[in-house]
Amino acid sequence: MPQEHQEQHQEQEQPVPDTVGRLIVIVLFEGVDLLDVTGPPEVFSLAKRETEAAAGYRVVLAAESMAPVTTAAGVRILPDVTFNEAAEGRIDTLIVPGSVDVDSSGRVRANVDPALVASVKVLAGRTRRVTSVCVGAHLLAAAGLLDGKRATTHWSTAQQLAAEHPAVEVDADPIFIREGNVWTGAGISACLDLSLALIADDLGEAVALRVARQLVMYLKRPSGQSQFSVPLEQVSTTRRIEDIRHHIMRNVDQPLTVADLAAYAHVSDRHLTRLFKTELGTTPHTYIESIRVEKARHGLESTDATLERIATACGFGTTDTLVRAFRRRLNTTPTEYRRRFRVPQAD
């Protein structure tokens, strides 16, 4: 915890104004998972750094009182405001983390405190967009915010969530799920993926992609799933290979051959292949296919375009080539992928 953050509460904070950028309130309570609290602010701070056009984000931690809160990791955190103070203004995004207990047999159960649920419900009523990370979904469900919605949580408590809240359609597979203005994220480190998706929703995928690269992580598209992730954003160490990568992304719909790329980079075919192997650990052909699959995934998730149109836009040429690439890389078909991961658009 930075020293300045530890010392900022010698005097009680005033209620949070609702005029400063996008106000993000993270719920804080005893035993909360540490990364669920600290991960999202890191992501949002990078978004402010990566764009000058955005109004920016302001992240505050809200708790029942101003007393220090001890997380599950034993790290103590100071709140910025109380729940009552946070509820006095308009909140752009509410992030609700969770906590668990593990009994003597090793069984994991999500904690649900009724008083905390009541506070979450009040804050949600002042919020444009409500999100949960990890087992925080149990708090949203207890507040009635997930009724009739599809939601995810950490896989270890998915059965508990389904059993205790039959009105919720629990799906433990996706990294996160969006249902209108309610977003739920899966376990622990998925808070980073969810935060990236929120940034993409607010500021566009180009900004989210730059933030993902700063975090040295892959950009997960909305409704993405870890086993379907294609490693596109490896960080290269030379300007030449970086330029080639961006050239591929700009021209993915064109027939890109090793000879074409070598000519663009003013190197031999053999040298280009060595560059890809050294910098990205793969071949030009494999990398190009991964770019095309990633773009196709996004089209399947976010549009109703036909498979023929997606295949053409992604440089596959034919739907048969598209289908073979999906089977080879994702072990599924484009149609099945769309059925599972099509993102419902907000009204």
Distance CA 55, CA 59 (A): 13
- Convert the pLDDT of each residue in 244-291 to its tens digit: 888 998 899 999 999 999 999 999 999 999 999 888 888 999 999 999
- The number of beta carbons lying within 10 Å of the beta carbon of residue 125 is 13
Q: What pLDDT does residue 331 have?
A: 80
Per-residue pLDDT band for 217 (boundaries 50, 70, 90) equals low
Per-residue pLDDT band for 96 (boundaries 50, 70, 90) equals very high
Name the least confident of 176-185, 216-225, 261-270, 328-337: 216-225
344: left (phi over 0), alpha (psi -120 to 50) or beta: beta
Tell how far CA 111 is from the center of its chain. Answer: 23
Mean pLDDT of all residues belonging to the chain: 84
Between vectors from CA 153 to CA 151 and to CA 159, what angle results, nearest 5°?
Answer: 95
> Which CATH superfamily includes the segment(s) 3-228?
Class I glutamine amidotransferase (GATase) domain (3.40.50.880)
Secondary structure letter of residue 17 according to DSSP = P
The residue type at 254: Q
Please state the rounded mean pLDDT for residues 107-115.
92
- Convert the pLDDT of each residue in 1-13 to its tens digit: 444 443 333 333 3
Bridging pattern class, strands 57-63 and 81-82: parallel
Between vectors from CA 161 to CA 125 and to CA 139, what angle results, nearest 5°?
Answer: 30
Tell how far CA 338 is from the center of its chain. Answer: 19
Q: What pLDDT does residue 140 have?
A: 97
User: Within the chain, what is the greatest distance between any pair of CA atoms?
Assistant: 67
Per-residue pLDDT band for 238 (boundaries 50, 70, 90) equals low
Rounded to the nearest 10°, the torsion over CA 112, 114, 117, 122 is 180
Q: What pLDDT does residue 236 have?
A: 52
- Residue 253 phi, psi (nearest 5): -80, -5
Residue 61 has pLDDT above 90, yes or no: yes
**Beta bridge mates, 70:** 76
Q: What pLDDT does residue 103 have?
A: 79
Better-scored residue on pLDDT, 337 or 112: 112
- Convert the pLDDT of each residue in 9-47 to its tens digit: 333 333 443 335 789 999 999 999 999 999 999 999 888
Whether the full predicted model's pTM is greater than 0.75, yes or no, is no
> Which CATH superfamily includes the segment(s) 239-341?
Homeodomain-like (1.10.10.60)
Q: What pLDDT does residue 47 have?
A: 85
Q: What pLDDT does residue 8 have?
A: 37
Distance CA 19, CA 239 (A): 41
Please state the rounded mean pLDDT for residues 104-108.
79
**Domain boundaries along the sequence of the chain:** 3-228, 239-341
Per-residue pLDDT band for 162 (boundaries 50, 70, 90) equals very high
- The number of beta carbons lying within 10 Å of the beta carbon of residue 143 is 22
From residue 162, alpha-carbon distances to 146, 167, 170 in Å are 11, 8, 6
Distance CA 61, CA 69 (A): 11
Better-scored residue on pLDDT, 239 or 148: 148
Sign of CA dihedral 312, 318, 321, 323: positive
Report the percent of the chain where pLDDT is more than 90. 54
The residue type at 108: V
Distance CA 124, CA 104 (A): 35
Structural tokens at position 228: 């379907």
Radius of gyration of the chain from its Cα atoms, rounded to whole angstroms: 22
Question: In the chain, which ranges are continuous DSSP H helix?
Answer: 3-6, 34-50, 83-86, 114-124, 137-142, 158-164, 190-203, 205-214, 239-250, 258-265, 269-280, 284-302, 307-313, 319-330, 334-341
Kindly report each contact of residues 145-148 with a partner whose C-beta sits within 8 Å and lies 24 or more positions away, as own/partner. 145/120, 145/121, 145/182, 146/179, 146/182, 146/184
